[in-house]
Amino acid sequence: MQFKKIIGQRKLINQLTRVIDEGKVSHAQLFVGNMGYGTLAMAMAYAQYLNCQNRQHFGDEGDGSGLMADSCGECPSCKKISSLMHSDLHIIFPNTSTKNVTKNPSSADFQNEFREYVTANGGYCSFDGWFRHLGVESKQGLINVRDGRDLIRELSLKTYESKYKTAIVWLPEKMNADTANKLLKTIEEPSENTLILLVAEERERLLPTIISRTQPVNLHRIDDQSLYARLSQEHTEIPSETLNDIVVAAEGNYLLANEFVSQSEQRRYFAELFVNWMRKLFKLDIKNLSKTVEEICSLGQEQQKQFLRYVLDVLRACFIKTATGRPSPHMLSFDDEKFANAFPAMITVRNIERLEKDINESLYNISRNAYDKITFMSLSFAISKSLKNK
């Protein structure tokens, strides 16, 4: 992965390459940001540039896209890291049992599948997408103690072909307590020329001691101009006006933008479920509302979380439409034209913050294995109250 393949983020990239060129590399770094901002891609490009045998520098004027330096992409080290097959690069990530790995799973069992998934998506990856790739989207995943043990063993060995032995821990917030504590000890007492890159979305779920002992690298949303440029290259069939709406709704998130573009079967189902849920909770038709909640609960924990994120996206898009009058691609996913025309006006400055707070709290509770039916019924009553306070 070269920096030039990352969407936007030029200021941060230039800071990272300058630090490497000055030899001020911290042995433990925490890359934080939504995966749709390119967090994993950034960590991969960082590792590649660090180990590149022929770094490219573009002078004061840069390369034309704002980059001041990049890896060459051609040396043996670059080719191996870009394919995630470098002997001094080690990656652990959330995993679970599958049809082929029925017990005691670890990242080592899924290296080939992970390489396929990451390279196919250019480093712009999500937990949900990874588990869909494995065919286990209804399961929860962990970075378990076996992953931690394997990583620590690898990092204790000497390097084979690079100056640095690099570890990437993707979604470290998925580590169980034992694994987190083992990793903490390695961070505190690293072997020589060891680099540990943690790539997280939810910083607050990490051990405070891990946070305090890592150098933060914060990724922010992709700027609209860069996101539009990438989408227009990849989707020439989509009118520019529609792409503009998608960029606005995606809020700098490339993965979310692609979801809007694809209008996947899941999103169409979520749209139908959302309309049904909103109608039942607005009327407080308890009997039928309970049936709809049961349908939501039948999705499984990860899809419940996806659905709640979808609801957040829709409500934000509705608020934008109410506030600015601009249409949103979310509205196009509703087959019910009457609902699509009427519902956005119910999301206003008086209730949007309360709605977001209630849904985010429910997301948190579901992530903590709260009883889903109680969570969604309570949320239904809260949303109903907020919608009537428009």
Long-range contacts of 375-382 (CB under 8 A, 24+ apart): 376/293, 376/296, 376/297, 376/304, 377/289, 377/290, 377/293, 380/277, 380/280, 380/281, 380/289, 380/293, 381/281, 381/284, 382/354, 382/358
User: What is the Cα 210 distance to its own chain's centre?
Assistant: 20
Angle at 184 between CA 178 and CA 190, to 5 degrees: 130
User: Residue 91 pairs with which residues in a beta bridge?
Assistant: 168
CB atoms within 10 A of CB 158: 9
Q: CB of 41 within 8 A of CB of 122? A: yes
Q: What residue segments make up the domains of the chain, in order of their start?
A: 3-218, 263-387
Residue 96's pLDDT is 94
pLDDT at residue number 3? 97
Q: Residue 126 has which token pair?
A: 């999500």
User: How far, CA to CA in Å, does 90 sit from each of 2, 140, 150, 170, 336?
Assistant: 18, 23, 9, 11, 49
Calpha distance 79→72 (Å, rounded) = 9
Q: At what angle do helices 301-324 and 265-283 cross, to 10 degrees?
A: 70
Predicted pLDDT of residue 160: 87
Better-predicted residue by pLDDT, 355 or 189: 355
pLDDT of res. 388:
87
Asked if pLDDT for residue 174 goes beyond 60, the answer is: yes
Class of domain 3-218: alpha beta
pLDDT tens digits, residue range 107-160? Answer: 999 999 999 999 999 999 999 999 999 998 878 899 999 999 999 999 888 888
Q: Distance between CA 113 and CA 117 in Å, rounded?
A: 6
Separation CA 3–CA 81 (nearest Å): 13
The pLDDT, as a whole number, for residue 265 is 58
Measured CA to CA in angstroms, residue 15 lies from 10, 152, 170, 218, 377 at distances of 9, 29, 22, 12, 47
**What is the mean predicted confidence (pLDDT) over 330-336?**
59
Average pLDDT over residues 342-359: 92
The percent of residues in the chain predicted with pLDDT above 70, rounded, is 96
- Closest residue by Cα to residue 31 from 244, 215, 184: 215
* Lowest-pLDDT choice from 189-198, 318-327, 346-355: 318-327
Tens digit of each residue's pLDDT (9 = 90 or more) over 231-269: 999 988 888 877 887 898 889 999 999 888 876 457 778
Question: Positive or negative CA dihedral for 179, 185, 191, 193?
Answer: positive
Read off the pLDDT band of 328 (50, 70, 90): low
Structure-block tokens of residue 98: 């599958």
pLDDT at 203 over 70: yes
Neighbours of 246 (CB within 10 A): 23
Structure tokens at 44: 């991969």
Average pLDDT in the chain: 91
Number of other residues whose CB lies within 10 A of the CB of residue 21: 13
Question: What mean pLDDT comes out for the span 356-385?
Answer: 93
